[in-house]
Amino acid sequence: MTDTIQQIVSDLTTRARAAARTIAAVSDDQKAQALIAAAAALRAASTEILGANAKDMAAGAEHGLSAAMLDRLKLDPARLESIAAAVEQVAHLADPVGQIIDRTERPNGLVMERVRVPVGVLAIIYESRPNVTADAAALGLRAGNAVILRGGSEAVHSNRAIHAAMIKGVVSAGLPADAVQLVPTQDRAAVGALLAAQGQIDMVIPRGGKSLVARVQEEARVPVLAHLDGICHTYVHAKADPAMAEAIVVNAKMRRTGICGSTETLLIDQDYPDPAGLIGALIDAGCEVRADDMLMEIDPRTIAADEEDWGTEYLEPIVSAKMVSGVDDAIDHIAHYGSQHTESIITADDAAAKAFLAGVDSAIVMHNASTQFADGGEFGLGAEIGIATGRLHARGPVALEGLTTYKWLVHGNGQVRP
Amino acid sequence: MTDTIQQIVSDLTTRARAAARTIAAVSDDQKAQALIAAAAALRAASTEILGANAKDMAAGAEHGLSAAMLDRLKLDPARLESIAAAVEQVAHLADPVGQIIDRTERPNGLVMERVRVPVGVLAIIYESRPNVTADAAALGLRAGNAVILRGGSEAVHSNRAIHAAMIKGVVSAGLPADAVQLVPTQDRAAVGALLAAQGQIDMVIPRGGKSLVARVQEEARVPVLAHLDGICHTYVHAKADPAMAEAIVVNAKMRRTGICGSTETLLIDQDYPDPAGLIGALIDAGCEVRADDMLMEIDPRTIAADEEDWGTEYLEPIVSAKMVSGVDDAIDHIAHYGSQHTESIITADDAAAKAFLAGVDSAIVMHNASTQFADGGEFGLGAEIGIATGRLHARGPVALEGLTTYKWLVHGNGQVRP
């Protein structure tokens, strides 16, 4: 890593820390106004933003980006409007900062309060979607944090234009410009320097594909909020209602196959009455089913699963399917192959549901619902910054509360410790 | 690191994970009974434990351990009884596992609950105090975690005897022996292997001096709950009552100088009416005062502070003292030199107190109270595993709740995502 990159990142984090101290003390209303102004500024800068995006699109086409990547990169008036509207929505979310989590009075008269405060300085590392520039900045700022953004090179012009507009809004509301900073270089060493900035950056949030998340988790000396895989399981129990099971399984796998909450492995209880119906419904919906020996016998259209399939997040219309001997076997399979993201049991048997909900060690465990509900909006949390499968701080869908921490306030009237 | 050490640690973590799955599902009562049985087993094994401790003491004397270290190492019937009693106290604490943090029903009928669950596998790395073997095991287990203990070589016989007794109790209550494991080798490479065990160990808690904590924070690839320094500040505001200020400052510094919550820097407002009284009270109590130029003029018994003093945790009857121009100056000094542990303002002015409580970014911020209250017991949390100055997961005194996380349970009746 060059001294220059080190210096650039050190400068970014120093400014971010100073801005974080300012924003932590800003009122709910002022933060909301800053985001409303940022949304207005995004709309006002549409010509600049769409022009910048056209440059990225042209460069992307020239460099042979795939159609899928170009689609992620592309902005048009409707997409820009939805970015601005999303920023406004975040402005209208309740501010968690200042919330009193609990309060106790001790026998000596000391009053202990736990109060939510911002985490501090967040770094968001993402790929080619320019909307993340606005989304992540809005969520971070709403919870009183300073945000450092590092987007993919493909979107560099779009990100700069979006960032410039947002800053204009933020500053017009009286917040410091350093509240939201964009890393000014696309040198990949800057990512390494951000990940190494222990004590300067409080939390890193990677937004993107598995290789990005894996790199961040591997290199980071700073806490990371992320999920690497979404190998979600749906377990159809012996006592599942077949109509409900079919509807949920097809939805869980096929509604959108590319999201992290889509089911990748179907576990069918050996005593479930209609496995053929389930497998058939998936295949009829256009899903490839990679099955174990027992399930292969049921439908000749299935293909043989191998060991690797049980640990694969397809993100495509493919599902692995296995017969299990009961709840414990399902729980064991999930413990061995799962990614602690989202799992669901379909059953009319409350005892089985209870055992599954207790025994599965995932961020989200569901009963009689589609794993595709694994989303902060669906959980009523407002916009989410992502889904975390780590065990500490925040788990599952992470929204504003996950971007805060707490401190203890102790109110005394002269107490000394005996 | 040798393959053997790697293998030993891998074996420990595999067993711990299996035990963690079992304990996570165990009832509150069964966990409490296991600790009550462990306390009884500690008492029943007093001959073995005191005999083992005598071996450690003899070896320690031979190796020239300091009197202070030998005192930390030493067990006698009274100390062993207090270790057993502490384990019993933990048994009687309320179990956080299973507590519902919040619960919301969505318009589509899905019910989202956040429920406390154990963190999973904890590693405790500590020095020569054998009581930590029992304390840490008890707290970890009470919150449903599997615990891996790695104590200092000086206490190896004591730790083995305490561990053996506790396991006897734990097993008699029907819990797996692997719930509490002691690393079977004193090879220092084992610590490195524990710290690198990403995904196998969920949290590392170092208990000991600064060099231990620094090594753990530097090397760990696993989340660490700790504080490196306790450079605590007491700020005596212009509107402080002098009698209260003197009583609190002397207590905050001198009650026990060796604990992390003792005040290391005194900030005196330039408009505080009686700085000489404060400085004099400290010196009269036997404290060395290292002062800035302004305060040196006030009392000839002070000595000159240098830059290093502002960032030093003395843990001795020494305090650094500085005159500040007001609340903002105090906050700035703390932001620059502090360790985000515990700071206190002494004032009768509510606006000043409010500004200090809001503006100081520490785990604990106090008003009109001694920083020596920075302790889980004083906060009403029961026994603490330690004090954390990191920003994520748990901050300040960490007790049972800090050894848990949560998962989301989603209760449906057939919902699919549109």
What is the C-alpha separation between B148 and B83, in angstroms, rounded? 19
For the cut 90, the answer to whether the pLDDT of residue A1 exceeds it is no
What is the C-alpha separation between B194 and B183, in angstroms, rounded? 10
pLDDT at B3 (0 to 100): 74
**Mean pLDDT (whole number) for B299-318:** 96
**C-alpha dihedral (B299, B301, B307, B311), degrees to nearest 10:** -100
Q: What is the DSSP string of B148-175?
A: EEE--GGGHHHHHHHHHHHHHHHHHTT-
pLDDT at B5 (0 to 100): 92
**Mean pLDDT (whole number) for A210-219:** 91
- Statement: A3-225+397-409 belongs to CATH 3.40.50.1970: no
In angstroms, what separates the C-alpha of A91 from chain B's closest C-alpha?
Answer: 22
Alpha helices by DSSP H, B189-304:
189-195, 210-219, 242-254, 275-284, 293-296
Is the Cβ of A352 closer than 8 Å to some Cβ of chain B?
no
For the cut 70, the answer to whether the pLDDT of residue B384 exceeds it is yes
**Mean pLDDT (whole number) for A141-165:** 97
Find, in chain B, the residue whose alpha carbon is nearest to that of A245. B414
Contact flag A412-B363 (C-beta cutoff 8 Å): no
Contact flag A335-B21 (C-beta cutoff 8 Å): yes
Selected for mutation to probe chain B from A28, A111, A391 (highest B CB count within 10 Å) is A391
The amino acid present at B163, given as its one-letter code, is: H
Query: Interface pTM (ipTM) of the complex?
Result: 0.94
pLDDT at A2 (0 to 100): 63
For the cut 70, the answer to whether the pLDDT of residue B268 exceeds it is yes
Contact flag A373-B411 (C-beta cutoff 8 Å): no
In this structure, what token pair is assigned to residue B175?
């819990």
Contact flag A392-B24 (C-beta cutoff 8 Å): no
pLDDT at A3 (0 to 100): 74
Which of B149, B108, B160, B143 minimizes the C-alpha distance to B125? B149
Which of A243, A309, A246, A236 minimizes the C-alpha distance to A282? A246
Which of A29, A138, A97 minimizes the C-alpha distance to B361? A97
**Mean pLDDT (whole number) for B222-226:** 91
A-chain residues within 8 Å CB-CB of B380?
Answer: 104, 106, 112
Tell me the whole-structure pTM to 2 decimals.
Answer: 0.94
In angstroms, what separates the C-alpha of A242 from chain B's closest C-alpha?
Answer: 11
In angstroms, what separates the C-alpha of A345 from chain B's closest C-alpha?
Answer: 10
What is the C-alpha separation between B271 and B268, in angstroms, rounded? 8
Residue B223 is nearest to which of A223, A410, A414, comparing CB atoms? A223
Q: How far is CA B347 from CA A380, B111, B234, B371, in A?
A: 42, 47, 11, 15
Percent of chain A with pLDDT over 70: 100
Which of B235, B46, B244, B24 minimizes the C-alpha distance to B140? B24
Say which residue the tokens 């909006």 belong to: A377
Q: Which residues pair with A118 in a beta bridge?
A: A404
The amino acid present at A163, given as its one-letter code, is: H
Residues 201-220 of B with CB under 8 A from A: 202-203
Is the Cβ of B358 closer than 8 Å to some Cβ of chain A?
yes
Residue B417 is nearest to which of A255, A393, A409, comparing CB atoms? A255
What is the C-alpha separation between A57 and A181, in angstroms, rounded? 23
For residue B67, give the H/E element and its range: helix B67-73
Contact flag B335-A21 (C-beta cutoff 8 Å): yes
Q: What is the mean pLDDT of chain B?
A: 95
B-chain residues within 8 Å CB-CB of A414?
Answer: 241, 244, 247-248, 368-369
Is the Cβ of B94 closer than 8 Å to some Cβ of chain A?
no
**Tens of pLDDT, residues B119-172:** 999 999 998 899 999 999 999 999 999 999 999 999 999 999 999 999 999 999
Contact flag A392-B203 (C-beta cutoff 8 Å): yes
pLDDT at A209 (0 to 100): 87
In angstroms, what separates the C-alpha of B231 from chain A's closest C-alpha?
Answer: 16
A-chain residues within 8 Å CB-CB of B411?
Answer: 366-369
What is the C-alpha separation between A201 and A195, in angstroms, rounded? 8
Within chain A, which residue ranges are assigned CATH 3.40.309.10? 232-378
Percent of chain A with pLDDT over 90: 94
What is the C-alpha separation between A275 and A259, in angstroms, rounded? 25
**Tens of pLDDT, residues A385-417:** 999 999 999 999 999 999 999 999 999 999 999
Within chain B, which residue ranges are assigned CATH 3.40.605.10? 3-225+397-409
Q: Provide the number of CB pairs (under 8 Å) joining chain A to chain B.
A: 187
CB neighbours of A315 closer than 8 A, spacing ≥ 6?
A257, A258, A259, A262
Position A301 confidence tier, pLDDT thresholds 50, 70, 90: very high
Position A265 confidence tier, pLDDT thresholds 50, 70, 90: very high
Say which residue the tokens 């496995």 belong to: A275
**Tens of pLDDT, residues B161-196:** 999 999 999 999 999 999 999 999 989 899 999 999
Other CB atoms within a 10 A radius of the CB of residue B222 amount to 19
Is the Cβ of A302 closer than 8 Å to some Cβ of chain B?
no
Position A208 confidence tier, pLDDT thresholds 50, 70, 90: confident
A-chain residues within 8 Å CB-CB of B363?
Answer: 407-408
Alpha helices by DSSP H, B101-146:
131-142
For the cut 90, the answer to whether the pLDDT of residue B330 exceeds it is yes
Q: How far is CA A157 from CA A73, A160, A200, B33, in A?
A: 11, 5, 27, 63
Give the CATH architecture of domain A232-378.
3-Layer(aba) Sandwich (3.40)
pLDDT at B370 (0 to 100): 98
Is the Cβ of A177 closer than 8 Å to some Cβ of chain B?
no
Contact flag A372-B412 (C-beta cutoff 8 Å): no
Is the Cβ of B43 closer than 8 Å to some Cβ of chain A?
no
Contact flag B396-A407 (C-beta cutoff 8 Å): yes
**Mean pLDDT (whole number) for B68-80:** 94
**Mean pLDDT (whole number) for A67-84:** 94
**Tens of pLDDT, residues B199-209:** 899 999 999 88
Residue A417 is nearest to which of B25, B357, B372, comparing CB atoms? B372
**Tens of pLDDT, residues B13-46:** 999 999 999 999 999 999 999 999 999 999 999 9
pLDDT at A410 (0 to 100): 98
Count CA atoms within 13 Å of residue A223 on its CB side: 26
What is the C-alpha separation between A82 and B132, in angstroms, rounded? 55
Is the Cβ of B119 closer than 8 Å to some Cβ of chain A?
yes
What is the C-alpha separation between A146 and A180, in angstroms, rounded? 6
Is the Cβ of B379 closer than 8 Å to some Cβ of chain A?
yes
pLDDT at B329 (0 to 100): 98
What is the C-alpha separation between A184 and A166, in angstroms, rounded? 16
Q: What is the mean pLDDT of chain A?
A: 95
**Mean pLDDT (whole number) for A360-385:** 94
CB neighbours of A198 closer than 8 A, spacing ≥ 6?
A221, A222
Residue B244 is nearest to which of A361, A365, A414, comparing CB atoms? A414
**C-alpha dihedral (A272, A274, A279, A282), degrees to nearest 10:** -100
